[in-house]
Every structure is written in structure tokens, then in C-alpha cells.
């Protein structure tokens, strides 16, 4: 019996043995913390908004907005991250199919974003609440100033009692800089404003230990995940519904990003009536992901989540242990440099096995790094003709993602 529980706990990201009772106690305490959360990001997927139809389902939107208003009445703050612009606009393009080309998606988003906002506007106005639209691109969060501006705007709206409604600015993004799905965007917004709960509403009940659509009812829902480990990631199958862009894997990545910012995540079925108040009153529903105790600062969060990496540094074992013990990255421990980037760029640090270990801002360009990789800083001047920083990435500009 104990063996079975151990397997299940490893799956949920816990590697020490914990009894059945202990796990129940941990889950109860975690759900109580959910009931105490004050600042909540609610991400709404496209399939929920359309119910598989061509048009937005106003009834569904009205009912969820009513639930959100009840939450707001308890003094909590809510930011909605909503998909649905492309789905709402697609019908207007009369393509007879889902938009696939980037310019078709951009056109659909342009046609649908207003319709989407109008639905929210009308749903909230019945309850005396005003909404405000925020459209973001990855570039907005990659630049530190724009990232801070977005944060100020959200904070101001919340302080003034409005409901910010966020979506990706699909009309102007190009492939290289788009999020492509709103799970990641929602996790970024959670980190941006220090939310305590990220609620990912989807058309599935949560994370299963198998594919619920293919395992004849054998797949079991995992109620609690302590940490998103590679074992947990392996449980995520391919993309889910026809209309949305994310799948379970993007939700798991979002949960991991949120956890690093000290924010819990719940993945739950948005088609269940009363799902939002149920969760906010601490009644278990879907899969709850715990946050990490040791959270990272806002600036480091920006380095870890906001920036897009321009290259990879492959490290030796010595550099891996230096990074894991909180030290800076030195050129001596770099085995290979991939990509083209300038000084100040964000890069990924990979272990000798190719696993992502850390992200950071480099003090040298890719070309300079190729010359000094494997060398001691005392040799830099002879190699480069100038003596730059001793560290390739200073520990203040480095975020270790795996412990
Ligand atoms: N931003 C897209 C939209 O509004 C949807 C992305 C997603 O499916 O998560 O239609």
C-alpha cells in the first residue's frame, strides 16, 4: 500500500514518503489558503467562451461574470485574462474554417476583440462594475520599462475598482514575438502584479494521470501537485480542444511560472456551474498546484519569465554546481555557446545533459563568449583586447530554475 502511495506522491512532485492522512492534511491546508487568496487571475479559454459553436456564448459569459462579481463583493481583486478574440472574429471572415495563416488570425482578432469586450462590458455593467481592456505583446513584457508600465496600469485599475480584461494584442504580433496562447500570458500577469491565485478555467476537469478521453474512464484526476516536475510534465498529452491554442503542457508551464512567483494555480472545468465561488471558498475542485516557498524578486521574475532567450550556454558540471549553490557564472565553466546575441541579452544556461538550468543576462556578446569560453578571467584581456567583467552572468542577473 505504502509503495502505491509513494508512486503517487512522486507523480505529484513529492519525493519523500508521506502517509495518506498526511497528504489529506496538506491538501486541506492548501485549499484553505486558496480560500484566503485576495488577488486572483482568472484565465478563460476560447472553447469555454464559444462552447464549440461559431459565436461567443453570452449566457456562459454572463453566469461566470456574475460569479466573479460575487467574488469582488468580498473585497477580492480579479484580473481576467481572456481568449476568444480570434474565435469571435473568425465567423465574420466567412472563411468556412478556422483561421490558420498569421494574417487570417490577425484579421480575426481585429474583428473579434471588440465583440469580446462588448460581451464582458455588458455582463459586468448589470452588476455595476466597469471593465478596462489591456492588450499586451511579448515585447511589452520584454522591456523592463514597459513591463513596469503595464504593472502600474493594472495596479491603478485594481485600486480604482475596475476589472482589467487582458488579452494578447493578436492584431499586431508577429510569430517570433507572440505568446500564441493565453496560459503563459496569464502566468506572466500573475507574476507582474503579485497575484496569489491563478485560476485556469478550461474545458477539462484538471490534470489526469492518463488521457481521460482515451482510457475508458481509467484515468484519475490528480487533485494536488506539489511541484511541476518532468514526471508531471510527461502526464500532459497533446493540445486539447479545437478552438484554443494551449494544451495541458502550456498550463503546466504556466503553473510552474506562477509557483515561482509565490502564486498557487488551479486548473478547473469552467463549464461546471458555480466553479469560481466553489474554488474561492476552498472547496477542492480540479487540480491545485502549490506555490514555491522561496519566491524570486520581481526583477528576477522578469528575467525568468518575461524575456525571450537569444542563445544557449552549455555548461560543465562544475558550473552547474556553482549555479546551484548561488554563485555567478564564469567563462571557465562554459563548454559551448549557441546563437547570436549582444552583451545584455537574455540566455539560457543548459546542463551537460541539455536540461534547462537557469536564465540570465550576459555581460559578453556571443562572439566574445566563444573566444573566452573555458578560460579564466585573467586571460580575457589577452584574448579580447580588453578586460571586461569577471563574471559572464552575475548572480544578481541569474535565475536558477531547477533545484
Ligand atoms: N489570444 C487569442 C484570442 O484571443 C487566444 C489564445 C489562446 O487560445 O489562448 O483569440
pLDDT of residue 298: 75
Most confident segment among 1-5, 42-46, 89-93, 140-144: 42-46
Q: Which atom of ligand 1 is nearest to the CA of 182?
A: 9
Helices (H) and strands (E) in the chain, counts: 16, 15
- 338 — phi, psi (to 5°)? -120, 140
Q: Which residue owns the Cα nearest ligand 1 atom 9?
A: 181
Q: Is 285 in the pocket of ligand 1 (CB under 6 A)?
A: no
Domain that holds residue 365: 309-400
- At residue 209 the predicted structure's pLDDT band, cuts being 50, 70 and 90, is confident
pLDDT of residue 308: 82
Is 102 within the bounds of a domain? Answer: yes
Helix, strand and coil content of the chain, in percent to the nearest 5, comes to: 45, 20, 40
- DSSP H or E run through 64: helix 58-72
**What CA–CA distance (Å, rounded) separates 37 from 366?**
44
70, 219: one domain: yes
Is 127 within the bounds of a domain? Answer: yes
Among 145, 171, 179, residue whose Cα is nearest residue 86? 171
273, 340: one domain: no
Contact 232, 225 (CB under 8 A): yes
pLDDT of residue 6: 40
- Strands lying side by side in the sheet with 39-44: 131-136, 163-168, 77-82, 39-44, 197-202, 264-269, 287-289, 224-225
**What CA–CA distance (Å, rounded) separates 87 from 97?**
11
Per the structure, how many domains does the chain have?
2
Q: Is 87 in the pocket of ligand 1 (CB under 6 A)?
A: yes
CATH number at residue 290: 3.40.1160.10
| Domain end (from 247, 278, 300) | 300
Regarding predicted confidence, which is higher, 91 or 373?
Answer: 373
277, 247: one domain: yes
33, 111: one domain: yes
Q: Is the pLDDT assigned to residue 13 strictly greater than 80?
A: no
Structure pTM?
Answer: 0.79
**What CA–CA distance (Å, rounded) separates 196 from 183?**
16
Q: Is 246 in the pocket of ligand 1 (CB under 6 A)?
A: yes
Cα 208 to its chain centre, rounded Å, is: 19
280, 361: one domain: no
Cα 310 to ligand 1 centroid, rounded to whole Å:
25
Q: Is the pLDDT assigned to residue 126 strictly greater than 80?
A: yes
Cα 396 to ligand 1 centroid, rounded to whole Å:
34
Q: Which atom of ligand 1 is nearest to the CA of 108?
A: 10
Is 36 within the bounds of a domain? Answer: yes
145, 243: one domain: yes
- At residue 12 the predicted structure's pLDDT band, cuts being 50, 70 and 90, is low
Amino acid at each position: 500500500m505504502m509503495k502505491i502511495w509513494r508512486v503517487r506522491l512522486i507523480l505529484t512532485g513529492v519525493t519523500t514518503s508521506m502517509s495518506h492522512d498526511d497528504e489529506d492534511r496538506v491538501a486541506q491546508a492548501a485549499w484553505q489558503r486558496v480560500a484566503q487568496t485576495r488577488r486572483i487571475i482568472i484565465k478563460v479559454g476560447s472553447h469555454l467562451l464559444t462552447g464549440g459553436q461559431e459565436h461567443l456564448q453570452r449566457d456562459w459569459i454572463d453566469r461566470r461574470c456574475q460569479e466573479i462579481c460575487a467574488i469582488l463583493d468580498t473585497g477580492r481583486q480579479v484580473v481576467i485574462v481572456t481568449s476568444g478574440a480570434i474565435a469571435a472574429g473568425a465567423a465574420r471572415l466567412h472563411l468556412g474554417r478556422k483561421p490558420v495563416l498569421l494574417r487570417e488570425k490577425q484579421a480575426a482578432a481585429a474583428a473579434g476583440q471588440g465583440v469580446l469586450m462588448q460581451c464582458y462590458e455588458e455582463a459586468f455593467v448589470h452588476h455595476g462594475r466597469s471593465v478596462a481592456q489591456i492588450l499586451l505583446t511579448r515585447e511589452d513584457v520584454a522591456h523592463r520599462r514597459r513591463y513596469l508600465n503595464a504593472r502600474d496600469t493594472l495596479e491603478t485599475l485594481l485600486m480604482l475598482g475596475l476589472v482589467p480584461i487582458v488579452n494578447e494584442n493578436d492584431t499586431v504580433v508577429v510569430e517570433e514575438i507572440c505568446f500564441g496562447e493565453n496560459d503563459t500570458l496569464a502566468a506572466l500577469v500573475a507574476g507582474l502584479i503579485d497575484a496569489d491565485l491563478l485560476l485556469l478555467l478550461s474545458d477539462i476537469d484538471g490534470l489526469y494521470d492518463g488521457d481521460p478521453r482515451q482510457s475508458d474512464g481509467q484515468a484519475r484526476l490528480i487533485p494536488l501537485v506539489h511541484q511541476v516536475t518532468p514526471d508531471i510534465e510527461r502526464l500532459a498529452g497533446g493540445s486539447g480542444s479545437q478552438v484554443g491554442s494551449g494544451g495541458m503542457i502550456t498550463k503546466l508551464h504556466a503553473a510552474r511560472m506562477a509557483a515561482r512567483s509565490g502564486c498557487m494555480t488551479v486548473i478547473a472545468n469552467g463549464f461546471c456551474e458555480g466553479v469560481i465561488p466553489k474554488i474561492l471558498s476552498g472547496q477542492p475542485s480540479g487540480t491545485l498546484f502549490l506555490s514555491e516557498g522561496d519566491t524570486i524578486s520581481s526583477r528576477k521574475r522578469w528575467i525568468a519569465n518575461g524575456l525571450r532567450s537569444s542563445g544557449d550556454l552549455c555548461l560543465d558540471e562544475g558550473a552547474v554546481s556553482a549555479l546551484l549553490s548561488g554563485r555567478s557564472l564564469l567563462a571557465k565553466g562554459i563548454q559551448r555557446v549557441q546563437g547570436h546575441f549582444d552583451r545584455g541579452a537574455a540566455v539560457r544556461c543548459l546542463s551537460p545533459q541539455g536540461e534547462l538550468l537557469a536564465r540570465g543576462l550576459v555581460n559578453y556578446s556571443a562572439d566574445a563568449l566563444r573566444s573566452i569560453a573555458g578560460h579564466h578571467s585573467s586571460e580575457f584581456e589577452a584574448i579580447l583586447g580588453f578586460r571586461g567583467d569577471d563574471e559572464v552572468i552575475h548572480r544578481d542577473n541569474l535565475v536558477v530554475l531547477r533545484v
